[in-house]
Chains A and B, each alone.
Chain A
């Protein structure tokens, strides 16, 4: 646990020292939101509004997570072998990216609803929608965690994360889009719980598979 905490701190410090990753992600979110606003101007349909937001978040997640091993090349990679176990490394990466993705998601949500107003309906529970945002952000970063580790070891680069990750992410994306669509349509937790549970199941599976399989890929 101590090691994981130190590793998360390390990730944070590296990103803080060279703020290029943060800047690029937040700029990416700003720019896409503005492009979406310019192409749509008005979104009347709550379902379209919701789907667009999740597509923006999805590509922001690819942007964030495909860079997650950029620091770990050459000497630093070898140094990391001596510091921690692979399980600690992957869990730390997943946690750090979950926190980061939650921030990116909220930022994206704010900018998006600044340009295209939030379609609030009568009887809608905004709290449930925010929980959905957090769950979706964590889900995206845990599922893509292992995929980006695989892509790190190939010569494909960032494009590889998209090729390998997109088909795998579809189930999770469907669950989270159905969930938040339901919230926007004013459904209660009684109806939505199955989406939430399947999302939790997918997060748990993604994290535990990463935990089990990462040791096989991290050393050459």
Chain B
């Protein structure tokens, strides 16, 4: 342990891994997508609208096709005017009787692949369900865009990059509290003050990462859910763990004898850790619904990422953040060791 702390190979590789992953997470463009459909106008049998794309390449791409679609029915664009890379003006001829009122807009070109709008457009007219007229572009093959990118999702948009900051910060915090739990047990078993120093240092740095995780999470929540703080089981857990470890420092301040202080705070750290992590496991499953992915019925990031590109970046970033947190911990620990030596000397 002492030896490992002094070595620098893992610090350098950790920083390189983290920097690489974060550079990748910030520099990789988002996938193209349809941002919105605007200025929808319907006159007689024609429909016209403006399509706004995101990160799309309408100017440089070839074979641009746009159609509206409902199940088996699709109607192709008659007029297609390219304004710039992300704006299109589209006119479509409609039949007299529609199969349905609600259509989604689909776009295909050779750079962006196939994009579909999630919202869809509402078309007025007489409706009579029918079997369908098949695809209007016979040759169209549904494709993915050809280059490497981050997934494009409505609501999330560019904030999906925060996945590589917010979540690994909490992982680092959990890693450090787990570490402090182990060192607290070791202190009670061996009564070696070094383990007490380790516990304190680990909890200190865990609090730092909790603050980072809370603030990145609050910003992310503001953009996606509309508020900095929501009533969510995960937020509950974050608040309780912060309170527990603040109480831990309070406890340390209220005992003068160093030996007794170490013993009492180790007992509290063990007790609080177990009660809290049981709670984390038990209560979110008790909650009816959580806004956080992967906890209840909410769709998770796994569904967003079919090819696992995001997963690789995320895992690398997590490893980097955890190594960074351990490095900060080791610095704090060494500082405490020096202080203890000085006290012993005096």
B23 contacts partner chain A, Cβ-Cβ < 8 Å: no
- CB contacts (< 8 Å) of B263 on chain A: these are 216-217
- CB contacts (< 8 Å) of B124 on chain A: these are none
- The residue on B at minimum CB distance from A168 is B275
A123 contacts partner chain B, Cβ-Cβ < 8 Å: no
Whether A217 lies near B283 (C-beta < 8 A) is: no
Whether A213 lies near B243 (C-beta < 8 A) is: no
Whether B275 lies near A143 (C-beta < 8 A) is: yes
Which candidate, A77-85, A104-112, A195-203, is the interface stretch facing chain B?
A195-203
Contact partner, A153, options B236, B264, B266, Cβ 8 Å: B264
Contact partner, B244, options A167, A175, A195, Cβ 8 Å: A167
Residues of chain A having any CB pair with chain B under 8 Å: 143, 146-147, 150, 153-156, 160, 163-164, 166-168, 170-171, 174-175, 178, 194-195, 198, 201-202, 205-206, 209, 213, 216-217, 220
B240 contacts partner chain A, Cβ-Cβ < 8 Å: yes
Whether A160 lies near B251 (C-beta < 8 A) is: yes
- The residue on B at minimum CB distance from A155 is B254
The answer to whether residues A164 and B251 also contact, given A171-B282, A213-B267, A216-B267 and a CB cut-off of 8 A, is yes
The answer to whether residues A213 and B271 also contact, given A168-B244, A175-B286 and a CB cut-off of 8 A, is yes
Q: In the complex, which residues 246-281 of chain B have their Cβ closer than 8 Å to any Cβ of chain A?
A: 247, 250-251, 254-256, 260, 263-264, 266-268, 270-272, 274-276, 278-279
- CB contacts (< 8 Å) of A156 on chain B: these are 250-251, 254
Whether B255 lies near A171 (C-beta < 8 A) is: no
Bound-state CA distance A184–B250 (Å) is: 39
Whether B275 lies near A171 (C-beta < 8 A) is: yes
- CB contacts (< 8 Å) of A209 on chain B: these are 270-271, 274-275
B188 contacts partner chain A, Cβ-Cβ < 8 Å: yes
Whether B268 lies near A150 (C-beta < 8 A) is: yes
Q: In the complex, which residues 275-322 of chain B have their Cβ closer than 8 Å to any Cβ of chain A?
A: 275-276, 278-279, 282-283, 285-286
Whether B260 lies near A153 (C-beta < 8 A) is: yes
Contact partner, B255, options A155, A166, A167, A195, Cβ 8 Å: A155
Q: SS class of chain B's interface: helix, strand, loop or mixed?
A: helix
- CB contacts (< 8 Å) of A163 on chain B: these are 247, 250-251
- A47: min CB distance to chain B, Å: 14
Bound-state CA distance A194–B251 (Å) is: 34
The answer to whether residues A168 and B266 also contact, given A154-B254, A155-B255, A202-B278 and a CB cut-off of 8 A, is no
Whether B244 lies near A154 (C-beta < 8 A) is: no
Bound-state CA distance A111–B39 (Å) is: 65
- B47: min CB distance to chain A, Å: 50
Whether A205 lies near B283 (C-beta < 8 A) is: no
Residues of chain B having any CB pair with chain A under 8 Å: 188, 236, 240, 243-244, 247, 250-251, 254-256, 260, 263-264, 266-268, 270-272, 274-276, 278-279, 282-283, 285-286
- CB contacts (< 8 Å) of A174 on chain B: these are 236, 283, 286
Whether A146 lies near B271 (C-beta < 8 A) is: yes
- B241: min CB distance to chain A, Å: 8
**Interface CB pairs A-B, < 8 A, 20:** A143-B275, A147-B268, A150-B264, A150-B267, A154-B251, A154-B255, A156-B251, A167-B244, A171-B275, A171-B282, A174-B236, A178-B286, A198-B283, A202-B282, A205-B274, A205-B278, A216-B188, A216-B263, A217-B264, A220-B260
- A147: min CB distance to chain B, Å: 8
Bound-state CA distance A154–B255 (Å) is: 5
Whether A171 lies near B278 (C-beta < 8 A) is: yes
- CB contacts (< 8 Å) of A171 on chain B: these are 240, 275-276, 278-279, 282-283
Which has the most chain B C-beta neighbours within 10 Å: A156, A163, A175, A213? A213
- The residue on A at minimum CB distance from B245 is A167
The answer to whether residues A206 and B282 also contact, given A150-B251, A154-B255, A216-B263 and a CB cut-off of 8 A, is no
- A142: min CB distance to chain B, Å: 11
- Nearest first, the 8 closest Cβ-Cβ pairs linking A and B are A171-B279, A167-B243, A156-B254, A154-B254, A167-B244, A198-B282, A213-B267, A168-B275
The answer to whether residues A170 and B240 also contact, given A153-B255, A163-B250, A194-B286 and a CB cut-off of 8 A, is yes
- CB contacts (< 8 Å) of A202 on chain B: these are 275, 278-279, 282
- CB contacts (< 8 Å) of A178 on chain B: these are 286
The answer to whether residues A198 and B270 also contact, given A153-B260, A163-B247 and a CB cut-off of 8 A, is no
Whether B276 lies near A175 (C-beta < 8 A) is: no
- CB contacts (< 8 Å) of A147 on chain B: these are 268, 271
- CB contacts (< 8 Å) of A217 on chain B: these are 263-264, 267
